[in-house]
Structure 1
Amino acid sequence: MNHREYTSMRQLPSRHLLGTGTPMCAGCGALQTLHQIYDLLGAKNVIINAAGCMTLLAVYPYTPFRGSWLYTAMASAPAGAQGVRDALDILKARGSISEEEDLSVMVLTGDGSAYGMGLSATSGTMDRGLDFLYLCYDNEGYGNTGHQSSPATPHGARTATSMRGLGYAGEKKDLFAIWVAHKPSYVATVTGAYPLDLARKVEQARQLAGPRLILSLAPCPTGWEYEPSETVEIGKLAVTTGIWPLKEYRDGKVVHTRIPKQRLPVEEYLQRQGRFQHLFLPRRNESALAEIQARVDRYWEEVRSSDNDT
């Protein structure tokens, strides 16, 4: 048996790496990131996809990828990755496939799975040192079912399940820190608006073995309520306001790969999105805006303090 024989779906005709005509929202930040990463990784991989927005790319019996694709329930993608990696290793040990026919294993999930439903299975795979790449497209809500609040929803955002008052009253979970606490091989934050930073980090991850996370902010026009043509600009504002730090963890150290020299006020990012309009209209919620700004300021003050200590 070779990797062509255990690919479970046929490919869609495609001009490029991803098929055209896929039923995705215009301006999708997740698809923007996935395009860039797949360009770098190529076809010799098995993508284990948890239920989410990117599930819409594959409509049985077709997939837009040249490699293999396995669909799982939202909480089960890391467990599926374990099974696929174990099966590949067994086939190699038996001589059924050669090293050249071996495939890399990549988990693909949204934030609902990565930050919430699938976190227990992910922790288990890291404990076992599973050799896999985990790509999370973080659109800060359960985007495939109407953009309800998720553990990645930022404080103050309105979603389908937090429509009144301030909006989401909780705090966005720090998935980067949770992964780092497991001491994996590599963790990095990216966004499609900074493709060179993204490409360098994916290349870093490719050269390593063990658990590796690429955590991508994925602006969502439908859930965040902005024009699809503004996806790149929204991604850049997330970085230049300091709300989405670009950083990586390797060899026990966290390094910020892009530090804004003069951070823009966070409201320049917030006011471009309908999910935060209640903080500005019919009157400005000064206390909420100041609170959000203060959180971002504290983060970067801690970064500067840590840099000075070293």
Structure 2
Amino acid sequence: MKMNTIKSIRDIPLHENIYPGTPACAGCGGLLSLRHCLKILGGNIVIVNAAGCFTLLSVYPYTPFRSSWLYTAMACAPAGAQGIRDALDILIKKGRLNPDENLKVVVLTGDGVAYDIGLASTSGALYRNVDFYYLCSDNEAYGNTGFQASGATPFASNTHTTPAGKMNPLGELFYKKDLFEIWRSHKPPYLATISPAHPVDLINKFEKAKHYKGPKLFINLSPCPPGWNTDPSHSAKLAKLAVDTGVWALKEAVYGEISHTIIPRKFKPVEEYLSAQGRFTHLFQPVRQEGVISQIQSFVDQYWKGIQG
């Protein structure tokens, strides 16, 4: 199978499917990646958006997108995607739609939908092998409703529903779900994790995914300045630090076979990533929570130890 490999950010296609100046929180890591995703997917797409942060991008009668857009409730974006996919396929089969006018179907969600509310309809679409792209902007909480804990919230993170304080001194102590493995258990053709700090890796994964028919997942770690309590100008730096510390593994799976696309030569301490975010301040002030910090470092070390043998 011949695939085009992009080696430099300058090689990214110039097609723009989203207008400059798109409304979103300043420094949104999800929007940084979305621009690249839509560049490589091109203009012949229809976006099926489940309620979330990105819903605010396209508010009738205004939209920043040049492509089609369908808004759905949080639980049913993959079902909406199947309806569109089936309609396109039937029209083409009946000769009522030229195959050149076929569209890629792209589901666009946040982690609250991807990890929690939308899992049932997603599992159904995976089971039926619906041909669509699924892009999850993972800011690790329910972002546009006030940053409440979700199934993607990491261990010991502060959120507005699990605030660190006298009643909960260590923050949220649930473990983040492994959405990559949840999808992989369904045996879809292609899965990947991506980052706004590694656009070339991101683009090459979308280029590769074009060659597979069926469900295709992309999970983007999306720094959220208001939720993570960080400076908007630091989002790309934070996204890179997540990879450099090993917290966010950049990988892909083709029919279940996993490979890591970027592995740091030397991992930075996880503490560098945690201490740069206000949502983890309680781990360092007023009393340093050494046990919790060490436990988070241990989670990361165990993952990479399993990968590297």
What is the aligned length? 291
Unaligned runs of 5+ in 2: 1-14
Matches of 2:133 and 2:210, distance apart in 1: 8
Matches of 2:124 and 2:190, distance apart in 1: 16
- How big is each residue's C-alpha offset from its partner over 1:132-156, in whole Å with a ceiling of 9 and x where there is no partner? 0100010000001011000000000
Give the equivalent residue in structure 1 for 2:84.
84
Matches of 1:227 and 1:285, distance apart in 2: 24
- Return the offset for 1:282: 0.9
Give the equivalent residue in structure 2 for 1:308.
none
Matches of 1:275 and 1:252, distance apart in 2: 34
**Matched-pair contact (CA < 8 Å) for 1:48–1:106:** yes
Give the equivalent residue in structure 2 for 1:214.
218
Query: What TM-score, normalized by structure 2, do the two folds share?
Result: 0.92
- How big is each residue's C-alpha offset from its partner over 1:87-106, in whole Å with a ceiling of 9 and x where there is no partner? 11111122111100111101
Q: Counterpart of 2:111 in structure 1: which amino acid? A: D
Give the equivalent residue in structure 2 for 1:227.
231
2:246 aligned with 1:242 = yes
Q: Counterpart of 1:44 in structure 2: which amino acid? A: N
Give the equivalent residue in structure 2 for 1:157.
157
**Matched-pair contact (CA < 8 Å) for 2:17–2:67:** no
Give the equivalent residue in structure 2 for 1:260.
264
2:176 aligned with 1:185 = no
Matches of 2:40 and 2:229, distance apart in 1: 30
Matches of 2:126 and 2:17, distance apart in 1: 29
Give the equivalent residue in structure 1 for 2:61.
61
Percent same amino acid at aligned positions?
Answer: 55
Give the equivalent residue in structure 1 for 2:12.
none
**Matched-pair contact (CA < 8 Å) for 1:43–1:67:** yes
Give the equivalent residue in structure 2 for 1:47.
47
- How big is each residue's C-alpha offset from its partner over 1:79-122, in whole Å with a ceiling of 9 and x where there is no partner? 00010001111111221111001111010000000000001110
Give the equivalent residue in structure 2 for 1:198.
202
- How big is each residue's C-alpha offset from its partner over 1:140-197, in whole Å with a ceiling of 9 and x where there is no partner? 0000101100000000000010103211110000000111111001000000100110
Q: Counterpart of 1:43 in structure 2: which amino acid? A: G
Query: What TM-score, normalized by structure 1, do the two folds share?
Result: 0.92
RMSD: 1.1
Matches of 1:206 and 1:106, distance apart in 2: 12
- How big is each residue's C-alpha offset from its partner over 1:262-287, in whole Å with a ceiling of 9 and x where there is no partner? 10000100000000000001121000
Q: Which runs of 4+ in 1 moved over 4 A?
A: none
Q: Counterpart of 2:138 in structure 1: which amino acid? A: D
Look up the SS of the partner of 2:144 in the other structure: helix
- Return the offset for 1:243: 0.3
Matches of 1:203 and 1:176, distance apart in 2: 19
- Return the offset for 1:21: 4.2
1:82-161 correspondence runs (5 A):
82-161=82-161
Give the equivalent residue in structure 1 for 2:6.
none
Look up the SS of the partner of 1:144 in the other structure: coil
**Matched-pair contact (CA < 8 Å) for 2:16–2:38:** no
**Matched-pair contact (CA < 8 Å) for 1:22–1:56:** no
Matches of 2:131 and 2:16, distance apart in 1: 28
Q: Counterpart of 2:236 in structure 1: which amino acid? A: V
- How big is each residue's C-alpha offset from its partner over 1:27-73, in whole Å with a ceiling of 9 and x where there is no partner? 00000010010111111011000000001110102221111100000
2:276 aligned with 1:272 = yes
**Matched-pair contact (CA < 8 Å) for 1:43–1:65:** no
Matches of 1:83 and 1:64, distance apart in 2: 24
Matches of 1:277 and 1:146, distance apart in 2: 18
**Matched-pair contact (CA < 8 Å) for 2:30–2:138:** yes
